[in-house]
Amino acid sequence: DSGVTQTPKHLITATGQRVTLRCSPRSGDLSVYWYQQSLDQGLQFLIQYYNGEERAKGNILERFSAQQFPDLHSELNLSSLELGDSALYFCASSPGTSSYNEQFFGPGTRLTVL
Amino acid sequence: EDQVTQSPEALRLQEGESSSLNCSYTVSGLRGLFWYRQDPGKGPEFLFTLYSAGEEKEKERLKATLTKKESFLHITAPKPEDSATYLCAVADNYGQNFVFGPGTRLSVLP
């Protein structure tokens, strides 16, 4: 158990809908990272927040957005969903600002878009 | 652009048959190279961080090594519970990006 929690575990929705995924980092960690993992793309970095501020952006679509709240939990919002958005979404946390600290991953949210 | 490749894509070993997994990387100033283990449907589990060429780290049956262009994960006398996908990732000097390789899927047969 990494100490990172994610909810929900599974999410099934339809194309065009909007969903919110939630992540709570390990106690004391200030950075939260979001990743998407699909069968054909591997693990893709989406975005990083550090202590409430956006720190780095990866391959995140404009339809996706994230935020980190004062209690350090983070939410990833996915809108206008398409079939291709079906994937596992992971959240990770680390204590520092930079990605060269090891990251600890949550169990993931499996999103299925029908 | 930072790039990470891993080979082989899949590897089947008999229990006790030692082998190595390769991670080759291209990065603008390596800040750290990371190894993770991932079981199906679960989040990656951190194994090692390597920071400079020549560095080695060990944990049970696993040993990770680093050169200027690649890293190896050596598995000595593997057991069936070592079956998983092993992921390699790099962080560059900008510390802004964390790039994962596609992984090596390891199966250890009893």
B22 contacts B103 by C-beta, under 8 angstroms: no
Name the minimum distance, in Å, from the CA of B22 to any CA of chain A: 17
CA-based nearest residue to B89, from B41, B50, B39: B50
What's the pLDDT tens digit per position in A13-58?
Answer: 999 999 999 999 999 999 999 999 997 778 999 999 999 999 888 8
Give the amino acid at A53.
E
Interface test with A, best of B98, B99, B100 (most A CBs within 10 A): B98
| Residue of chain B minimizing CA distance to A88 | B41
Residue A86: alpha-carbon gap to chain centroid: 14
Tell me what pLDDT residue A40 has.
Answer: 73
Tell me what pLDDT residue B96 has.
Answer: 61
Give counts: helices (H), strands (E), chain A. Answer: 0, 11
Q: Which residues of chain B have pLDDT under 70?
A: 94-97
Tell me what pLDDT residue A59 has.
Answer: 81
What's the pLDDT tens digit per position in B69-86?
Answer: 999 999 999 999 999 999
Tell me what pLDDT residue A39 has.
Answer: 79
A10 vs B32, more confident: A10
| Residue of chain A minimizing CA distance to B31 | A100
- Interchain CB contact of A97 with B (< 8 Å): yes
Chain A CB contacts of B96 under 8 Å are: 48, 55-56, 98-99
Beta bridge partners of B21: B73
What's the pLDDT tens digit per position in A55-111?
Answer: 888 889 999 999 999 999 999 999 999 999 999 999 999 987 665 678 899 999 999
Pairwise CB contact (< 8 Å): B41 & A88: yes
Name the minimum distance, in Å, from the CA of B72 to any CA of chain A: 18
